[in-house]
Amino acid sequence: TVRPFSEIPGLWKNSLSNLYTFWKLDGFRNIHRIMVHNFNTFGPIYREKIGYYESVNIIKPEDAAILFKAEGHYPKRLRVEAWTSYRDYRNRKYGVLLKDGEDWRSNRVILNREVISPKVQGNFVPLLDEVGQDFVTRVHKKIERSGQNQWTTDLSHELFKYALESVSTVLYGERLGLLLDYIDPEVQHFIDCITLMFKSTCPMLYIPPSLLRRVGAKVWNDHVKAWDGIFNQADRCIQNIYRQLRKESGAQGKYPGVLASLLMLDRLSIEEIKASVTELMAGGVDTTSITLLWTLYELARHPDLQEELRAEVTAARTASQGDRLQMLKMVPLLKGALKETLRLHPVAVSLQRYIAEDIVIQNYHIPSGTLVQLGLYAMGRDHRIFPHPEQYLPSRWLPTESHYFRSLGFGFGPRQCLGRRIAETEMQLFLIHMLENFRIQKQRQVEVRSTFELILLPKKPILLTIKPL
């Protein structure tokens, strides 16, 4: 017999004292480890209430399958109040990230065609390949300047620029030139604003932004400043393309980028296009750059694997005669490496849905409308789901095995990451370029842990040494 919802184990009865313990454990920074701890204490399902939001947490792939089958036609995630409050406060439209219901679906369908459908990848590859090429040139220059035939550095700032240049090139169909020696202070400001926006969101997951705004809290002011900076820069880029398009209508066969394609398609209002393009631009920086940094870190820690990947890339290059699009189909281990990175270092600690129908998980009844969270970080590190979870083994993702509801770094279904194809292409090409040109090494073998700043980031700077092959 199915047990009732009220019997699900967990610390959900006293939310205020939970908030207090949470605070004491520095829970804001450690959500991912607290979730692991909770699964160890309560088993594969537990209920939780912290501050104003209540959820059921699950960890097993089979249960994830049940969750996503119950997501309905309009899948809905946990609403990040800080983000919607800002839009309401400044009277700006929601893009796909924040919309829900039919409004979300109708926008998302149109965006899918231009951003994530397989047919656009061919347009993205040459653009992104050029950015990868420029990154290599830049690193060679840095190595030369060091006078030591190597370059030891915290690559994160370079990777932020690489990621922003990549996503901008695809969105606007033209280069911003971020990999040149001179960096426009406005662009640096934009990058800083994204990091601040994520960071200042965290406390507002638990304390209502409306309250913080009323008391004039610093975190709310920081958050507003951050989004203002993001929207100002995105507006400048969008205006620029819009003006160009009006002057020279109908380009000569060249792929014009996502924004111009959407404008010419004319199925979304300009305000809606602006809202979603801004979200794409802001969502495309910290996510891919941090995933690449973690991947380089893992490659530096596993030199034999690095050589194996290099061999795969070299063979793919020969077999495809340098055709990059073709080449991307011949690097399964490299793709496995990215999946392995997202298993151990997911950008999102959890995936969530408000379920659209009643379900039964682990023999407990869960009523329709409940917020159910899949603990992505905890799942990736569970030995019952991934044997020897502490080992970085890209080969576990080769197509010979089944990966039923295990590869969820980008989410799942119609509400999955809209930037997925851009992210994957951009990251694969980056690694191909790096492996073709450099060897990555690391000084000491110390484990770097994650810290939660809305997305998971390395707790300490990662220092890598890059040498020409």
Q: Contact residues for ligand HEM (CB under 6 A)?
A: 77, 96-97, 108, 167, 279-280, 283-284, 287-288, 291, 342, 347-348, 351, 409-412, 415-419, 422-423
- Closest distance to ligand HEM from the beta carbon of 443 (Å): 26
Question: Closest separation between CB of residue 237 and ligand 2DC, Å?
Answer: 15
Look at residue 22 and give its three-state secondary structure. Answer: helix
With beta carbons less than 8 A apart as the criterion, state whether 87 and 57 touch.
no
Alpha helices in 328-419 (DSSP H): 332-344, 376-380
Closest to ligand 2DC by CB, 110 vs 348, is: 348
Closest to ligand HEM by CB, 27 vs 409, is 409
Closest CB to ligand 2DC belongs to which residue?
Answer: 283
Question: What distance in Å separates the CA atoms of residue 108 and residue 415, rounded to the nearest whole number?
Answer: 9
167 binds, among ligand 2DC, ligand HEM, none (CB under 5 to 8 A by kind): ligand HEM
CB atoms within 10 A of CB 387: 9
Indicate which of ligand 2DC, ligand HEM, none lies near residue 422 (CB less than 5 to 8 Å, by partner kind).
Answer: ligand HEM
Which is nearest to 58 in space by CA: 31, 38, 73? 38
Bridge partners of 468, per DSSP, are: 438
416 binds, among ligand 2DC, ligand HEM, none (CB under 5 to 8 A by kind): ligand HEM
112 vs 326, beta carbon nearer ligand HEM: 112
Q: Which does 415 bind (CB under 5 to 8 A by kind): ligand HEM, ligand 2DC, none?
A: ligand HEM
Other C-beta atoms closer than 10 Å to the C-beta of 7 total 10
Supply the DSSP string of 247-293, one letter for each residue. HS-S-SSS---HHHHHHHHT-S-HHHHHHHHHHHHHHTSHHHHHHHH
Non-local (6+) Cβ contacts of 178 within 8 A are: 161, 162, 164, 165, 168, 187
Residues in contact with ligand 2DC by CB under 6 A are: 77-78, 80, 97, 205, 279, 282-283, 287, 347-350, 352, 417, 454-455
User: Which does residue 418 touch among ligand HEM, ligand 2DC, none (CB within 5 to 8 A, set by kind)?
Assistant: ligand HEM
In terms of CB distance, is 161 or 213 closer to ligand HEM?
161
3-class secondary structure, 466 = strand
Residue 216 CB, nearest approach to ligand HEM (Å): 31
Residue 455: CB minimum distance to ligand HEM, A: 8
Contact 317, 266 (CB under 8 A): no
Closest approach of ligand 2DC to the CB of residue 419, in Å? 6
| Euclidean distance between CA atoms 356 and 70, whole angstroms | 6
Q: How far is the CB of 451 from ligand HEM (least distance, A)?
A: 17
